[in-house]
Every structure is written in structure tokens, then in C-alpha cells.
């Protein structure tokens, strides 16, 4: 779009400025604060970082709960195995005690029987002699 302008002759230049003139104008244009690049953190980056941090914490909590559950199951299994081992030992001890009691009862009955026979023979032998 064409518009009418006014040009001040001594301050205006209709050709391409030279490198020195360009650098001088840029130094004094009041835009020095924009010359240096600053990478500020955007709100998107902050929110993304917070979301990732929350997801990591949630995953860590889930992993911790899974570990605790596995440990509880392992402890339960260990206790069950210990109980089974204790019962097995108790059963073996009871069986050994019963065998010993049976053996003692058998020996006792054999002794009583043998003693009775000796007494019978002794008494009958004495009575026969009479």
C-alpha cells in the first residue's frame, strides 16, 4: 500500500547503509537488552517436568507396593514351610516315641512271660519232687 511520507534530507538515506553505519545505529537503538539470548523455562516445560515427576513417584510407589507384596508372600511361604518342617519333625519324634513304647511294652511282656514260666517251672519242679 502506498502512503505519503515526509523525508528529512540530512538524516535520511535512500541507499543501503554501510556496515559501520549499520553497527553504529544498532548500538544506539535502545534494544540492547534483546541482543543477548536468554533461554527462559516455559510454563509447558515446567508442567511437563512436574507431570513426569508425579508419574515417576506414582510408578515408584507402585513398585514399592509390589515389592512389599512379594516380600509378604515370601514371608508367608517361609512361615508355612517352617510350620510344615516343625510338624514333620514332631511326627518323626512321635513315631520314634511310639516305637520305643511298643518295644518297651514287648520287652516287658516277654520278661513277664519268661518270669512267669520260670516261676511255674520252679514251683512245679518243687511240687513234683515232693
pLDDT in tens, 108-125: 888 888 877 777 777 666
Higher-pLDDT residue of 43 and 8 is 43
Residues found in the chain: 130
Backbone angles phi, psi at 41, to 5 degrees: -80, 130
Among residues 45, 17, 40, the alpha carbon closest in space to that of 29 is found at 17
Half-sphere exposure of 130 (CA within 13 A, CB side): 6
SS3 of the chain: CCCCCCCCCCCCCCCCCCHHHHHHHHHCCCCHHHCCCCCCCCHHHHHHHHHHHHHHHHHHHHHHHHHHHHHHHHHHHHHHHHHHHHHHHHHHHHHHHHHHHHHHHHHHHHHHHHHHHHHHHHHHHHHHHC
pLDDT at 10: 64
pLDDT in tens, 30-80: 887 777 888 888 899 999 999 999 999 999 999 999 999 999 999 999 999
Confidence grade of residue 12 (pLDDT, cut at 50, 70, 90):
low
pLDDT at 125: 67
pLDDT at 93: 96
Amino acid at each position: 500500500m502506498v502512503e505519503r511520507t515526509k523525508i528529512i534530507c540530512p538524516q535520511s538515506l535512500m541507499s543501503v547503509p554501510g556496515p559501520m553505519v549499520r553497527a553504529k545505529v544498532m548500538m544506539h537503538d535502545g534494544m540492547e537488552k534483546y541482543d543477548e539470548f536468554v533461554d527462559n523455562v516455559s510454563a509447558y516445560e515446567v508442567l511437563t517436568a512436574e507431570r513426569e515427576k508425579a508419574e515417576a513417584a506414582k510408578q515408584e510407589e507402585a513398585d514399592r507396593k509390589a515389592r512389599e507384596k512379594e516380600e509378604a508372600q515370601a514371608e508367608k511361604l517361609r512361615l508355612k514351610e517352617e510350620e510344615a518342617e516343625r510338624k514333620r519333625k514332631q511326627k518323626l519324634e512321635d513315631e520314634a516315641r511310639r516305637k520305643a513304647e511298643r518295644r518297651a511294652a514287648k520287652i516287658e511282656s516277654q520278661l513277664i512271660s519268661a518270669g512267669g514260666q520260670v516261676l511255674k517251672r520252679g514251683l512245679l519242679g518243687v511240687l513234683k519232687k515232693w
